[in-house]
Each structure stands twice: as C-alpha cells, then as structure tokens.
Amino acid sequence: PYLAWRLLREQDRMRLFELHSTEIDVLRHRFHDAGRRVMIYAGDGFDGIKALLPPPPRRALVLIDPSFEDKRDYSRTLTCVEESLKRFANGTYAVWYPQVTRPESQRFPEQLKRLQDKNWLHLTLSVSNPPADGFGLYGSGMFILNPPYTLEASMKEALPWLVKTLGQDAGTQFKIESRGD
C-alpha cells in the first residue's frame, strides 16, 4: 500500500482494510502522516467495501488481496467482485491470487472470467516449477476487470524482465490473457 500511496495524485484517496490486528498497527504507523488521504479500517474488507461503492468521483481502483489462508477466501472474493460490479460496474478491480497447487487456486481464474465476459486482463508470473511436495507458493496471478487500456502493453514489457530477474528454475514463465470490449 505504501507504494500505491506514493503514486496517488493530490485528489486521490486510499481506503485500506486489514483483518489481522497486528498488521493494523503496522499500517497505522506507516501512514501516520498521510492525513485524511489514507483511511485505515480494522475489519473485513469483503464487508467494508460495500459502504464505499460507488465512490463519489465515480472512478476507482479496487485492489483485492486476501490472504487465501482460508479456502473460503476464493468464494468470498468471487462474491465480493460480483456484488461490487453490480454497485459500481465501471470500477477497475484488480484481484491478486497465489499460484499454489490447491484446486481452488487452479479454478479461480476461470471463475473470475465468468463474472464479466468482456474487458479483463489476466496476468500470471511463475518464478519456479510447482513444488514437488505440492506445498508452497510458486507464483502469483493478477486478474483485472476493466483494466486501463495501457496496462497490457506495459505488462508485455515488464513481465519478461520479472521472469529474468526473479526466475528460479526452468519453470519460470509469464502469461498474459485478455478480452477487450
């Protein structure tokens, strides 16, 4: 969140939700001088986002970054995005998810695609082969609904560099899928 805050324009606002009590203190310390531009809420972002949509300027990026420690986070994320699109159809929604060998993670991108049949961008970055024992993170995915029109071109430049920089073995790769209006 700190990097995003540093990129905000003067008129932009940031709202952060954190469920874990120990992390709330870290966020509050990090943003103690941000003033009213950054508001931090202790609680569940899946529930809290409902009160914030649609935002007054009718423009927003909603980043959804659950821990996915609980298998229910996959279905809760899908429900959250689906309900958020009903409240604020033109918002940009970016959903991060882990690349792990769990079936929920493997199905997740296809489920997100079904929420909106047009105007999405799906990016994955695998930094290694999946672990032989089936446990552990080997990459990340980002699914963006209503992405900025320049994002795909930017990612076509950035992802090869990330593969070269972060790659750990022959399983290192990236993928870009998209569907436009």
Residues with catalytic roles: 65
Radius of gyration of the chain (CA): 17
**What is the spatial distance between Cα 132 and Cα 138, in angstroms, rounded to a whole number?**
11
| CA dihedral of residues 99, 103, 109, 115 (deg, nearest 10) | -150
Q: Which residues contact 7 (CB under 8 A, 6 or more apart)?
A: none
The DSSP code sequence of 88-124 is -TTSEEEEEEEE-S-HHHHHHHHHHHHH-SSSEEEEE
